[in-house]
Structure 1
């Protein structure tokens, strides 16, 4: 469904990472873990995960867009949104999309994000908490450096508030003050879990990350392919 949106705000979350709030002209019904596509042209639609939970959206769609200097694909979207914001014009989105939304289940959840893939699993986490899900929820967020863990303090506070939530940040490049895990986020999961047979697994990151996770977790950790969810699996 094509919907016109006003750009409510654009705020920096980290270096070259932005939080964008959109106000759709018509209500967009979506499920936690789905994405929208920003319409840049007749045959040019660019996907971004919806970062907020459906039950808490209040008619607003939140995006986290990583637009590093080398990433023209996302950078052009940010520039288009900045223009719409300053000129008080609209952008078009196509929404909702994606089959990797959170499935009602009593199985424990493993949420894994690489970089701004965080927005996908954040929507799922917030929806599970809003719906008072009681099973264990493990949230792993991998990033290049601490600055890219732009909501780490907020996630740490959530894990302190909810006894069923465990938050594990993982840095590829860590300074001497870092007390958490280092290296690759998939390596951290492999180290921490003897078996993933009982888990529903939701992950977002680069296609190669999603593919590696499926291979490693199924072959080494007894994960069930049918209980692993990622938008990437529709393409790889």
Structure 2
């Protein structure tokens, strides 16, 4: 369904990463973990995860868009958002999309995995779980090149402190001064921390190659059930 949206705000989250709030003219009924498409042209629709959760979004849709210099695909969207905001024009979206949404009413532990701005996908799921008082153990692994890209670090640490079932594990690629978290590849960190993923539902957002590698590794070496690993990437790879 195509919907016109006002751009309520645009603000930086980290270097080349922006939080964008959209006000749709008609409500969007979506599930935690789904995405929307920003309509640039009739045959040019670009997908972005909805960072807000369906139960606590006040009618707004939140996006986290990483628009580094080499990523024209995302930069053009941010530029279109800025233009619409400055000139009081609307942005057209097509929503909702995706089948990798949170599977509620299950007793399994949850493993949420994000690479970079894939965090917006797992943020929606995590926030929904908290708001619905879902007590399943939740492990959130967020990997990034450096700590500056972990723009919700303090927020997630606070959530983990306040909710005993939530465990947040940040991972950066290179060691930094005063960094006390894990260093290296996010999938390697998970493989080191878990002897089995047999009783987990796994949700993944990141590059297609990461999602593909995660599914293969977890099924082959960690007893994960293939049909309990969720990522929209699997519709394309």
Is residue 26 of structure 2 the alignment partner of residue 23 of structure 1?
Answer: no
Q: Contact 1:146–1:174 at 8 Å: present in 2 too?
A: no
- Equivalent-residue separation in structure 2 for 1:176 and 1:4 (angstroms): 46
User: Which residues of structure 2 form unaligned runs of 5+?
Assistant: none
**Equivalence for 2:51:** 51
- Equivalent-residue separation in structure 2 for 1:179 and 1:27 (angstroms): 42
Under a length normalisation based on structure 2, what TM-score does the superposition of the two structures give?
Answer: 0.99
- Equivalent-residue separation in structure 2 for 1:108 and 1:125 (angstroms): 12
- Equivalent-residue separation in structure 2 for 1:135 and 1:55 (angstroms): 18
- Equivalent-residue separation in structure 2 for 1:58 and 1:97 (angstroms): 20
Is residue 6 of structure 2 the alignment partner of residue 6 of structure 1?
Answer: yes
**Equivalence for 1:64:** 64
- Equivalent-residue separation in structure 2 for 1:176 and 1:47 (angstroms): 36
**Equivalence for 2:145:** 144
**Partner SS, residue 76 of structure 2:** helix
**Partner SS, residue 190 of structure 1:** helix
Which of structure 1's runs of 4+ aligned residues deviate more than 2 A?
Answer: none
**Equivalence for 1:89:** 89
- Equivalent-residue separation in structure 2 for 1:176 and 1:41 (angstroms): 45
Per the TM alignment, residue 174 of structure 1 is displaced from its structure 2 partner at its CA by 2.4
User: Which residues of structure 1 form unaligned runs of 5+?
Assistant: none
Is residue 212 of structure 2 the alignment partner of residue 202 of structure 1?
Answer: no
**Equivalence for 1:35:** 35
How many residues of Structure 1 are paired with residues of Structure 2 in the alignment?
Answer: 236
Is residue 227 of structure 2 the alignment partner of residue 226 of structure 1?
Answer: yes
**Equivalence for 2:175:** 174
Per the TM alignment, residue 176 of structure 1 is displaced from its structure 2 partner at its CA by 2.6
